[in-house]
Amino acid sequence: MEYSQKIWNYCTINLIPLLYASSAATYGEGELGYVDDHDIIEQLHPLNPYGISKNEFDKWILHQEDHPPFWAGLKFFNVYGPNEYHKAIMASVIFHAFNQIKQNGKVNLFRSHKEGYANGEQLRDFIYVKDVVAVCYWLMETVNRKSPGMSDVLPTHDLPTGQAGSRLTSAIYNLGTGKARTFNDLVNATFAGLDIQPEIGYIDIPGDIRDKYQYFTEADMDKLKAAGYTKDFYSLEKGVDDYVRNYLAKNDFY
C-alpha cells in the first residue's frame, strides 16, 4: 500500500487528478450488499489478501484531509477483454474457456459447493474492458473540461451514496454493468462466438480457495449514473462475441 500512498501524495502536492483501481473483491461475501457507500467501507470483510489490500487503501484515502484536486477509486467487478493474456491464471474465464475449447472441445467450470447454487450458476457482474476504458475516458474528459480549478467538481470523500446529483464528485465508484450473470451464461456465449455447440463439465473448487470464493457479485451503479455517466454497457453476449470473434479467434491480442 505504501506505493499507492506515494502516488496519492504526489498527485496531491502537484495538483494532479487521480484515478485508481479498487475492486469488487473488497465486498467479500456481500453481507453488506454491493453499494459503493463510503459509510460501509470500514465494515467490509474481503475474503482474500488482494481484496484486503484494495480495501485498506480505500479506507486510508477516506481519512486523508489533503487530496488531489479530483480523485476517483473505481471498484472494478469482473473485467474481461483483449490484451489480458499476460495475466496468466488470473485472466478472465472467457480467455481460459477459449483455450480449453481449442484444446479439448469443452470447458470445465467450478462445481457449486454452496446450497442454493447449481453447478455453473454462480453469479458475477462481468464487464467488458471497452466499457471500463469508456468510463475512465469519460472521467478524464469531464475533469479536464472543468479545469482549471474545477469549480464544479466537489473534491469530497464523504458524499452519501446516490447524492451526487448531476455533478461528478471525488468518490469511490462501482464499475460493473449492474447485472449479474452466471458462469454458464459466460461460457455459452464463448461457444456461441466460435459457432460451436456448448459442452460444459464441472470440477471441484480447490480446497485452498473454496472458503474464499464469491458466489454472487452485482454492482449497484446508481452513484456513477447520478454523477452523469449515461452510456449503456455492453451486454454479456455482445461483449463476449466481440472479444472472441474479433480478438481471440484472430489471435489478435490487441
Q: Which residues are catalytic?
A: 50, 87
**Alpha-carbon torsion, ordered 122, 123, 128, 129, to 10 deg:** -80
* 138 three-state secondary structure: helix
Cis peptide before 46 (omega within 30 of 0): no
Q: How far apart are CA 186 and CA 10, in angstroms?
A: 40
Q: How far apart are CA 30 and CA 32, in angstroms?
A: 5
Residue 85 makes CB contacts below 8 A (sequence gap 6+) with: 91, 95, 253
- Per DSSP, what are the bridge partners of residue 201? 108
In 3D, which of 196, 182, 171, 209 has the Cα closest to residue 119?
Answer: 182
- Maximum CA pair distance of the chain? 57
Place of cell 479467434: 249
